[in-house]
Structure 1
Amino acid sequence: MKKNIGKLLSLVLTISILLAVVFYNNNKEAIVIKDEEQTTKSTEISNDIAFYDVKEQYTPHLGKSFAGFKEALGFKESQNNYFRVNKFGYLGKYQFGKSTLKLIGIYDSNMFLKTPELQEKAFIANAQRNKWVLRRDIKRFVGKKINGVEITESGILAAAHLAGPGSVKKYLRSYGKNGFSDAFGTSVRYYMKKFSGYDTSSIKPLKKVKVKHSRA
């Protein structure tokens, strides 16, 4: 009888040990799986944060608005630096030449360079004048493709800012054969493409436009 009880206890103890080992191993695998899942999720979250930081950069999104057009063009010209003068003497945020400024009634280039508000007015006035000069070409060519670039009104106005409306007329009417590049090698075609599709409908074509400004 005692031998039977001893065998029974030994069997029970063996089964208990086996169950404990199995339970421990299962728990260990579960912990490993959980840790792996947590690591994967942590990695995914880190990647999302890194992507957001690089992609967004906390900059305003002006899109294809007229404000976006002005800021994009100003950045290309001078990195939006109102006080910049390049080696050829072009002035301010939009890199105006003195001859162009005189056409819109600005004769004091030093005051112009020191007055951001005046530069913004000059940009609008020059765009209005260019739109009037190019009004027939805008009507005729917008929507067509020249040298692989779709022609848009904003592209035409940007190119006119770069090269003058006369050069843009020659480019369009020759279907791209009569091109123009500035002293840095920037072409009419490049500006047509880079600044295409912006909303410039707020610019009204004016034949004679002068910038009104008050002296301090």
Structure 2
Amino acid sequence: MKRWIGFVLHLAMIVILTSFGSYTMTKKVDHKVPDSLKVKMGIETLVLQDSVYDSENSLVTPPFLGNAYNGFKEALAFKESQGRYDVVNTLGYLGKYQFGKNTLKLIGVYDPDSFLNDAKLQEKTFEINIARNKWILRRDIKRFNGKRIRGIKITESGILAAAHLAGAGNVKKYLRSYGQNDVADAYGSSISYYMRKFAGYDISEIPQKRNAKV
């Protein structure tokens, strides 16, 4: 009887252990992921440099092409016309860089229609105007480059961008008044805004040129 009882108990123990092991191996465990950690597809947004509403309340998403001359002119063109050659704004300013007719005449362009339809001419005109403004503002660039006016670091590219906006004469007044004469165009873009937005580009490859013409 003792041997029989021992055998039964031993057999029962084996059955219990086998059943428990089978249960633990086959039991399905449901690991619930919190909603805060779940990945939701289709919500990622590609944000380019300066792809925000700027201080002038306009959406600016310029292509970033570096800090040399090409990057400078394309960033400025995007602000002016979103880089489109065929644009004429409500005030009659023309093309990718939004030139006024009087400025075009100063640098030797007398046919606005031909200008609007000639991409190469627009690029050449912009380069010539930069060279012209470099000459006009050469003393101010030398005097103010690297200084700060009302918290804005003054750079050559900022000065020339502002001159494209408001004319070299108004930029001289702004610099020599240390920011007190800060004019803006009809759309609200000011000299100080252009000084800040287009600061820090290297446009040394464009030489200054007196009375530059296309």
**Alignment counterpart, residue 93 of structure 2, candidates 85, 90, 94:** 90
Q: Secondary structure at the match of 1:54?
A: coil
Shift of 1:210: 1.2
Partner of 1:116: 119
Deviations, residues 15-68 of structure 1 (Å, cap 9, x unaligned): 22223334445xx45xx56x96xxx7x84xx78x965x51469x9641212111
Cα 1:56–1:187, aligned 2, differ >3 Å: closer, same or farther? closer
Cα 1:165–1:112, aligned 2, differ >3 Å: closer, same or farther? same
Deviations, residues 124-161 of structure 1 (Å, cap 9, x unaligned): 00000000000000000011111210000000000000
Partner of 1:130: 133
Matched, 1:157 2:149: no
Aligned residue identity for 2:132: R
Partner of 1:8: 10
List gaps (5 residues or longer) in structure 2: 50-61
**Alignment counterpart, residue 100 of structure 1, candidates 98, 103, 120:** 103
TM-score normalised by length of structure 2: 0.83
Q: Where does structure 1 differ by over 6 angstroms across 4 or more consecutive aligned residues?
A: none
Matched, 1:169 2:161: no
List gaps (5 residues or longer) in structure 1: 212-216
Partner of 2:202: 199
> How far apart are the structure 1 equivalents of 2:47 and 2:189?
28
> How far apart are the structure 2 equivalents of 1:124 and 1:83?
18
Partner of 1:19: 21
> How far apart are the structure 2 equivalents of 1:153 and 1:73?
14
> How far apart are the structure 1 equivalents of 2:82 and 2:88?
12
> How far apart are the structure 2 equivalents of 1:132 and 1:208?
8
Indicate the percent of aligned positions where both proteins have the same amino acid: 53
Partner of 2:211: 208
Aligned residue identity for 2:182: G
Q: Secondary structure at the match of 2:91?
A: coil
Cα 1:120–1:172, aligned 2, differ >3 Å: closer, same or farther? same
Partner of 2:73: 70
> How far apart are the structure 2 equivalents of 1:173 and 1:132?
17
> How far apart are the structure 1 equivalents of 2:16 and 2:115?
96
Cα 1:61–1:193, aligned 2, differ >3 Å: closer, same or farther? closer
Q: Secondary structure at the match of 1:100?
A: helix
Q: Which has the higher helix share?
A: 1
Shift of 1:3: 4.4
TM-score normalised by length of structure 1: 0.82
Aligned residue identity for 1:90: Y
What is the RMSD computed on CA atoms of the aligned residues? Answer: 2.4
Q: How many residues align?
A: 197
Matched, 1:183 2:186: yes
Q: Secondary structure at the match of 2:202?
A: coil
